[in-house]
Structure formats: C-alpha cells, structure tokens
Amino acid sequence: MNDLPTSSDHPTSSQNHAEASRNGASSLHSGDRATHTDPLLRQTRRIAFGGLGALTLLIILQAWSTHTQLSMMREEVAQRLKNGDAVNAENRVLLKSIQDAVKEMQSKVSVLESRQQESQSQQLALEQLYQDLARNRDDWALAEIEQVLSTASQQLQLAGNVQGALIALQNADAKLSHSDKPQFINIRRAIARDQDKLKALPSIDLTGTALRLDSIIAQIDGMPLLADEKPAASAPAQRGGKPGSTGGGAAKPGVIGSWLSGLNDAWHSWTDDMWSEVRQLIRVRNVETSDALLLSPTQAYYVRENLKLRLLNARLALLSRNESGFRGDLNVAQETIVRFFDTRARQTQTVQSQLRQVQGSTLAIEMPTLADSLNAVRNYKAKP
C-alpha cells in the first residue's frame, strides 16, 4: 500500500508558501514601494490559507482513517489466519482419518476383489464342469454300457450266463431309449440282434441236473460195497412129501405106509437143509478186482468219499459248462461204482441209472458273442 502524507508535512508546505509570499511581496515592495497592498490580494491569501488548512485537516483525517482501517484489517487478517490455522489443523486430522479410512477401505476392496476373482474362477470352473457334463453325458453313458456289455460277454463265454447277458442287453437298451438322438438307433438295432440270438438258444436245465447229482451224492452212503456183502438167509425147509415120493406106487395102508412116508419126508428135509448150507458156504462170482473184496473199513470210507468228490467236481463242471471235465468225472464215478460196489443191489442199480440220465444231458452249446453290440458302441465312440 502507498504511504499517505502525514500531518507533519503540512507546516513545511505552508512555510514554503509563506516564504514565497514574502519573496513576492518583497519583490513587489521593491518594485513599487510607493503603492499600498491591495485588499483583494489579502482576501485571496486568507482563502488560500484556509483551503490549505482544510485540505491538510482532511488529509490528516484520511490518514487516520486509513491507518485505523489497516489496523482493523490486520487484526481481521490475523484472526482469519488464526482461524485458518485451526481449520487447517482440523482438516489435517480429518484428512488423516480419511486416509486411514481409505486405506482400510482399500484393504477391504482388495480382499473383496480377491474373493470376487476366486468366485469368478470357481464359477468358470463350475460352468466348464457343467459344459463337460452336458457334453460328455452321452459319452459316459456309452462307456458304462460298453463296460456292462463287455462283462456280460465274458460271463457268457466263460460261464454260459445267458440270463445275465440278456439282462445286460435289456438295461443297455433301456438307457439308450431315454435319449432322443437318432445316432443311437444303430446301437439299439445291434442290441436287438444279440437279444434274438440269446433267446434262440436251446434251454439247458442246469439246475435240475445239479439237483440230480445232489440226490446221487446223498445215496452213496447207502450203497453196499462188495466187501460189505454178507451170506443170504437160509430158505425154510420144505415140509411135506412131494408127488411120487412114496416110490411111485399107491399109498400103502397101515403102519408101514405111514412110517415110510415119515421117513421119506425126513430124508427130503435133511437133504434140502444140507444143500442150502452148502450153497451158503460156497459161492462163485466173477470179480475183476480182487482187492475190492479185501477193503478195510477205513478204505471203504475213503472209497465212498472219493466217489462223492468226483460227483461234486462233476457238479462244478456242469455249472461252469466245462463239458469235458463234467463227462470225465461222471465216467470215473461209473467205473468206481462198478469196481467197488455191489451192482446187483437195487440201490446201486438206481444210482447207475440216474448217472446215465445225467450223462445224457447236453452241454455242448456254442454260445454267441455280444460283438455286434460292442462294435456298434465302440464305432459310435470313435466318431469325431
């Protein structure tokens, strides 16, 4: 701000004016000493001095007012600066709290962003998994059908499980029927052809044959061995005379005739008893193996148990459709019965008859394969 003139400058200027006036007056006095001062000039000087004093007073008042205003302005500016410093301090505290809040929010935002990225990755993984499930559902169904058909084919060839193979084919056809894809028609046709092949096979009563073998095994303990044979019970003696036993003549009356008749009856009874005893002592039989008659009780027990084991092996071979093993075990069982058992006994003959019926069962059936169905499934999976 420009400095205003102070009150101390006014006397100097008035003095200058006075000196100038004196100089002028002296010059006028010196020029015209004879003439007197003009009253008008004096009046003008008074007015000039009065205006000059008033101007000086105004200047002083203006300077005082300006100084007062400047002081007030300084105080106001100082107060405002003080208030500004307080506001600045509050703003610094508020700014620090805001910065802390911003940092906390940034940390929370970073955590939220990481979780959002994690959730997005999980969502992408779920979407990919869902797409894979939707895209590979048919492939997985075909893979399951292929596995089931492969297992059924193996059981069909190894154990002849026709019913299991039919059930597997029916289940595979039922699964394919739920899909409306026309590409599955060829697979279902192949499955239908394999089903027709299995249904056309002749039926074999494996269960009935196995039950017959179980019945035969249960009868072995009651079959008599050659070593177990005992003498037959003697026939009762015939009492009474035979026609013509009286010597071919007519009956003689009297005591002599009755004595001769009793003697004849006694003779015939004694001779019949003797002949029966002789027949029991001496018996002639043709036995191919003499050791069959010399079996001890322990050996007889093992003979029966070995025969049972042979028949059990034949039963296992029957259930597994091993025809060579089945027939071989039955032949060995027949040979064992002929060698060690009494074939004249009724029970032994019954067992031999049942074994011949079992041997007449047919197991030589060529089982078909499920190649048509398996090839159809594999060809469909091999397509791009």
pLDDT at 21: 52
**Worst-scoring range by mean pLDDT, 126-135, 144-153, 156-165, 370-379?**
126-135
Structure tokens at 137: 């559902």
What would the pLDDT profile of 169-197 be if each residue is shown by its tens digit? Answer: 888 888 888 776 777 888 888 888 888 88
pLDDT at 5: 42
Q: Which residue has the higher pLDDT, 310 or 376?
A: 310
pLDDT at 294: 60
What would the pLDDT profile of 289-306 be if each residue is shown by its tens digit? Answer: 556 666 777 888 888 899
Query: What's the average model confidence in pLDDT over 14-40?
Result: 52
pLDDT at 384: 59
For the chain, give every domain's residue range.
1-16+42-75, 136-201+368-382, 205-225+295-365, 230-293
pLDDT at 285: 53
CA atoms of 302 and 295, how far apart (whole Å): 10
What one-letter code names the amino acid at 13? S
| Nearest CA-CA partner of 332 in 309, 316, 354, 349 | 309
C-alpha angle 240/244/250, rounded to 5°? 105
Q: Which residue has the higher pLDDT, 60 or 247?
A: 60
pLDDT at 11: 44
| Nearest CA-CA partner of 188 in 125, 241, 142 | 142
Residue 234 confidence class, pLDDT cut points 50, 70, 90:
very low
Residue 238 confidence class, pLDDT cut points 50, 70, 90:
very low
Question: Could you write out the three-class secondary structure of the chain?
Answer: CCCCCCCCHHHHHHHHHHHHHHHHHHHHHHHCCCCCCCHHHHHHHHHHHHHHHHHHHHHHHHHHHHHHHHHHHHHHHHHHHHHHHHHHHHHHHHHHHHHHHHHHHHHHHHHHHHHHHHHHHHHHHHHHHHHHHHHHHHHHHHHHHHHHHHHHHHHHHHHCCHHHHHHHHHHHHHHHHCCCCHHHHHHHHHHHHHHHHHHCCCCCCHHHHHHHHHHHHHHHHHCCEHHHCCCCCCCCCCCCCCCCCCCCCCCCCCHHHHHHHHHHHHHHHHHHHHHHHHHHHCCCCCCCCHHHHHCCHHHHHHHHHHHHHHHHHHHHHHHCCCHHHHHHHHHHHHHHHHHHECCCCHHHHHHHHHHHHHHCCCCCCCCCCCHHHHHHHHHHHHCC
Q: Mean pLDDT over all residues of the chain?
A: 76
CA atoms of 209 and 217, how far apart (whole Å): 13
pLDDT exceeds 80 at position 201:
no
